[in-house]
A and B are shown apart, each in its own frame.
Chain A
Amino acid sequence: MTTSSAGTDTGITRLGEVFTAAKAEDRAALIGYLPAGYPTVKGSLGLLTQALDAGADLVEVGLPYSDPVLDGPVIQHAVDQALRHGVRIRDTLHVVEQLAARGGRAVVMTYWNPVLRYGVDAFARDLAAAGGLGVITPDLVPDEAGGWLAAADREGLAPIFLVAPSSSDERIASTTAATRGFLYAASTMGVTGARDAVADTATTLVARARAHTDLPIGVGLGVRNGAQAGEVASFADGVIVGSALVSAAEHGRAAVARLTTELAAGVRGQHTGR
């Protein structure tokens, strides 16, 4: 990967290390998503810390948004609760900062309008200062991301874009070219939510993306248990788990720890069945 104008010890390089370390152990990285502010700001910090302690290599801190069009009911509900409790953008940055302070690796997952409103340059600056490594943008495509790509480059943050089963080869090529850190492959056509089976579309999509990039590829949407994590780990560099962790979070830290442990075993091919 090209180095950013921010130098060598950047979010992008530290994000790269997550995947090289996992690869050195001949396994996929485990990436867990939880929204900031759910059930409370402090509670979310505890849950994310728990996920990292129980074996997540990286966490995605969700920035709650009023109109999450790519999210299914579980995440909608959690985010809605966070917003009703008054969570702010600065709370998300605070959670990232606290995680980073204890050595945790975190990216932010956010719909684009909150960043626009905060100011793209200011957001990049404040996230980098908090120790965040990059930003996943479910409703921003590189075509509209000019200002963000420049700001991310300046701050050494990874702009992480999504590819989907419907993406043309041409778009996979242009999207991967703009992406740093890792590529997010949305495994199915649909919103977030745990699913019973890993879709074939995921393997096909990862294979198509590999033809265009050497970036690590994380697969998300639908993974809910250790067996599925193991299956995805067999063809992807990262296994991304969102809704299932949020569901676990409804039952508290112990449930998050339990699921994360199971998923971490899954990505190591040690899943024992359930």
Chain B
Amino acid sequence: MTSAPTASQGLAGTAHEPDDSGHFGRWGGRFMPEALIAAVDEVAAEYEKARRDPAFLAELDRLQRDYAGRPSPVTDARRLAEHAGGARILLKREDLNHTGSHKINNVLGQALLTKRMGKTRVIAETGAGQHGVATATAAALLGLDCVVYMGEVDTERQALNVARMRLLGAEVVPVTTGSRTLKDALNEAYRDWVASVGHTHYILGTAAGPHPFPRMVRDFHRVIGLEAREQVLAAYGRLPDAVVACVGGGSNAIGIFHPFLDDEGVRLVGFEAAGEGVESGRHAASITGGSPGALHGAMSYLLQDDDGQTLETHSISAGLDYPGVGPEHAYLADSGRATYEPVTDAEAMDAFRLLCRTEGIIPAIESAHAIAGAVRMGPRLVAEVGPDAEPPLILVNLSGRGDKDVDTAARWFGVVDPESLPTEEPPPGTDAQTGEREL
């Protein structure tokens, strides 16, 4: 038995890096105010030093192991797989990390970096509240002041996480401008940072924003894919046929995709939030339904109107309700190395219920988009390999757990009387959009 890859190995550098100013091909870069350039330069320089500093790397590994609980296991989801047309579904259990999602991987790294830079305060944006909770947690652990910006709409739909952040000692600022969701929280975080940059680090929560964030955040999350690749090889003697993840800004997806980039036979698929359907206009599928543009610091795919105004987005999942996506995903989409598909609210909620009932795992609604995608892909992959071949392996990043979503789910399914709960699962292949909402 070799020991599991560690978080620090994610920082080692790869054959797939942006150029020195953060461009992945025509994507990425720095579309941002001059006032913040010095700050991102400082972050980039400090990150370069840190990722070569054995003491930093050892501390990161220690925290990821002893505090966050890495490595996270891979679960063979056999009862779920019965709904996936004969494919095998393997869940990378980021939901079991401390604080309940993958977000802690990035936050511990950036919080340690904050200390190295001698800064005493951190700020963050959050949608689902998972990044905010992770940031509040790391701030408590390392003795940093913490302010989290969160759209007012999201403070309501993710109220549990607002309470968690406050219990952890963070200040949560509800943002009332614009659509009052994740994009507006980012705007407010930038506004804070311009005025506070002397003593404050902005712990950006996804693999987006100006250079070096897309690369650095990705590196802190690469441990997901590094571990999973070894785990799948060890357990099944081969690589997965497909690696799938939900895509909001793209951090959990790039973290699990990246270590597989050179494995040509491994298909990489990201699932974007299609809300009420891409054709309805009420969605958050930036790659599927967007066009090139610059928002929040980077060139990438963006949901915008003909004048370049950011469009209002919709997703039942607060963490995916964002009009942009990290630039490396735009690059991977263009090159064809990864593909991106939409998953509607209804499909995600069906998958949410399915995972609850077949595996005893309540997923984050974000992650339920990936589950829906895997279940949808299963029959396709089985058809490709043929009925006599070994069942295809689909590795799913289960990016977070669903405690925060219990209210939303209860409302969606209209949960009232436990007596009335149906006992039968919908048979495999049933149309995911039957509109059934009872739990």
Contact = CB atoms under 8 A, between A and B. Distances in A.
Contact of A190 (B30, B31, B194, B291): B194
A139 B209 CA distance: 13
Nearest to A92: B307
Contact of A69 (B29, B191, B292): B191
B18 interface: no
Contact of B35 (A112, A140, A166): A166
Interface in B79-129: none
A139 B32 contact: yes
A69 B33 contact: yes
A167 B178 contact: no
B75 interface: no
Contact of B32 (A76, A89, A115, A141): A141
Contacts of A164: 33-35
B30 A113 contact: no
A191 B195 contact: yes
A13 interface: no
A66 interface: yes
A118 B308 contact: yes
Contact of B310 (A67, A88, A115): A67
B21 to A, nearest CB: 6
Contacts of A163: 34
Closest 6 CB pairs of A and B: A117-B308, A164-B35, A114-B308, A190-B195, A166-B38, A113-B308
Contacts of B191: 69-70, 72, 191
A37 to B, nearest CB: 11
Contacts of A139: 31-33, 294
Interface of B: 21, 29-39, 41, 177-178, 183, 187, 190-191, 194-195, 197-198, 291-296, 302, 304, 306-310
Contacts of B310: 66-67, 113
A138 B39 CA distance: 16
A182 interface: no
Contacts of A115: 308
A210 interface: no
B33 A189 contact: no
Given A66-B310, A113-B294, A190-B194, A175 B34 contact: yes
A197 interface: no
Contact of B29 (A70, A144, A166): A144
Interface in A108-151: 112-118, 138-141, 143-144
A175 to B, nearest CB: 7
A163 B30 CA distance: 16
Contact of A144 (B31, B190, B296): B31
A69 B183 CA distance: 11
Interface residues of A, number: 39
Contacts of B194: 69-70, 189-191
A137 to B, nearest CB: 10
B147 to A, nearest CB: 16
A76 B176 CA distance: 12
A12 interface: no
A162 B35 contact: yes
Contacts of A140: 31
Given A116-B293, A171-B34, 8 more contacts: A66-B309, A67-B310, A69-B32, A69-B191, A113-B304, A117-B293, A139-B31, A189-B197
Contacts of A175: 34
B294 A112 contact: yes
B34 A69 contact: no
B297 to A, nearest CB: 8
A194 B293 CA distance: 31
Contacts of A191: 191, 194-195
A167 B33 contact: no
A33 interface: no
A167 to B, nearest CB: 6
A182 to B, nearest CB: 15
A171 B295 CA distance: 23
Given A168-B38, A189-B194, A66 B178 contact: yes
A119 B38 CA distance: 29
Contacts of A19: none
The residue in A66, A112, A144 that gathers the most chain B C-beta atoms within 10 A of its C-beta is A66
Nearest to A221: B35
A211 to B, nearest CB: 17
Contacts of B296: 67, 69
B374 to A, nearest CB: 34
Contact of A162 (B33, B39, B190, B294): B33
B195 A138 contact: no
A171 B40 CA distance: 13
Interface in A81-116: 83, 88-89, 112-116
B293 A166 contact: no
A186 interface: yes
Contacts of B34: 141, 161-164, 166-167, 171, 175, 186
A38 interface: no
Nearest to A113: B308
A230 B174 CA distance: 39
Nearest to B177: A76
Contacts of A112: 31, 294
Contacts of B306: 117
Contacts of A117: 291, 293, 304, 306-308
Contacts of A89: 307-308
Contacts of B37: 141, 166-167, 171
A166 B187 contact: no
B426 to A, nearest CB: 41
A221 B264 CA distance: 53
